[in-house]
Structure 1
Amino acid sequence: MCKGLATLPATCLKSAKDIKHKISFLLQKQESQEVDHKQTKETKNEDAAKRMPTAADVEKWKESFSCVMNSETGRSVFSSFLRSEFSQENMHFWLACEDFKNTPTCKLDKKAKFIYKQYVAEGSPNEVNLDAATREETCENVTSASPSCFDEAQRRIYILMEKDSYRRFLHSKLILDLSQATRKKDKKSGSHTADIRQELAGGA
């Protein structure tokens, strides 16, 4: 140790060491946060790339509504279209019903009431368009919840999306842009398109 430091009181040396340790800790924490942020960003970009459809995907979706609904990417793209029409609650409800079917028995009652209050009850925050008879039937089903208590309501909303929204989806700017972008990308490199990520994220 140099003479200058040796002449300092022990308390000063301890304080200096403490400050050094704190600075070192903060620098390590900052580096760790930067790495985590970078990894998170890279993961999101990879996930987004996986979700982007190919030209074959888009052509398949044009064949039938079931092709859209049986594809995770198809449901995501269709949800973007529904969002542009302010009717995304239909997809949210359908997905909630799918998830509900796999709910453990001990949680059925609580989850059924939540879905009913969220989507089915009159004046609910995300009320879906159901006829009075189906709404009443669903209300009765929820009182003795079972995995199938939303089946009829879910079927009605599926038909509504298929007969109404899907037809407009086929002629929408979103699907037309996707068709053109994916064809160009597939011809060029065979990779997924990223040309309209922003449109998919914010709605058509």
Structure 2
Amino acid sequence: MHRESADTVPQGPNQPCPSSTQSHVATTLLPAARQSLFDHAVGTDPPAERTGQRQRLSTEEATRWADSFDVLLSHKYGLAAFRAFLKTEFSEENLEFWLACEDFKKTRSAAKLASKAQRIFEEFIDVQAPREVNIDFQTRELTRRNMQEPSLSCFDQAQGKVHSLMEKDSYPRFLRSKIYTDLLSQTQRRLS
């Protein structure tokens, strides 16, 4: 959920700020996160870390992120770049919820299923949850009913709504963002 306050001055990474300062936030509040992402993705990290078998991001791979939202989510550097972008918009809870649901679907232990489902519900779905995602009342209530007998599909509708919201709203802005364009530029510079 995008939060903004026109009369709030950014005090730190957890304070809301007006959306008009997005590029300012991206360059001032998150420089370490952005630089770390760039370092790992384009291979400009310190020599000691380069000795491993680190895969570098190519311009072609980064360009493919614009093909579809699912291509972006399926690439580890794409996911990291999108997460960094969502942090600038104070809406990373959407991606964190989607990822929690993906992890939840891999649960094989019946004993863990109910406790994991409860944790996800309390963190993201419940009214006034600490990281409440923006879903409609009907989806929230369906998910609440699903919690009576949790299954691997109990979050499917809510996850689908959040995926659609990110794809239609955040993803196009990400593709126009300084984070993405800078990353593309850095991959291109490395090739020249």
TM (norm. structure 2) is: 0.71
Deviation at 1:175, TM superposition (A): 0.8
Percent identity between matched residues is 41
Tell me, in whole angstroms, the C-alpha distance in 1 between the residues paired with 2:177 and 2:167.
Answer: 15
Q: What is the one-letter code of the residue matched to 1:64?
A: S
Residues 98-153 of structure 1: CA deviation (Å, up to 9, x unaligned): 11011121211111111000000010000000000000000110110000100110
Tell me, in whole angstroms, the C-alpha distance in 1 between the residues paired with 2:50 and 2:144.
Answer: 42
1:174 aligns to 2:173 (yes or no): no
1:160 aligns to 2:165 (yes or no): yes
Tell me, in whole angstroms, the C-alpha distance in 2 between the residues paired with 1:145 and 1:124.
Answer: 19
Structure 2 unpaired stretches of 5+:
1-45
Q: Sort the Cα spacing of 1:78 and 1:137 in 2 relative to 1 into closer, same or farther, 3 A.
A: same
SS at match of 2:147: helix
TM (norm. structure 1) is: 0.67
Which structure has more helix as a fraction of its residues?
Answer: 1
Corresponding residue of 1:95? 99
| Consecutive aligned runs of 4 or more in structure 1 exceeding 2 Å deviation | 44-53
Structure 1 unpaired stretches of 5+:
1-41, 189-204
The structure that has the greater radius of gyration is 1
Corresponding residue of 1:71? 75
Give the alignment's Cα RMSD to 1 decimal.
Answer: 2.4
Tell me, in whole angstroms, the C-alpha distance in 1 between the residues paired with 2:100 and 2:51.
Answer: 22
1:120 aligns to 2:132 (yes or no): no
Does the 8 Å CA contact 1:118/1:125 hold for their aligned counterparts?
A: yes
1:144 to 146, 149, 154: 149
Residues 173-194 of structure 1: CA deviation (Å, up to 9, x unaligned): 1111111110110x23xxxxxx
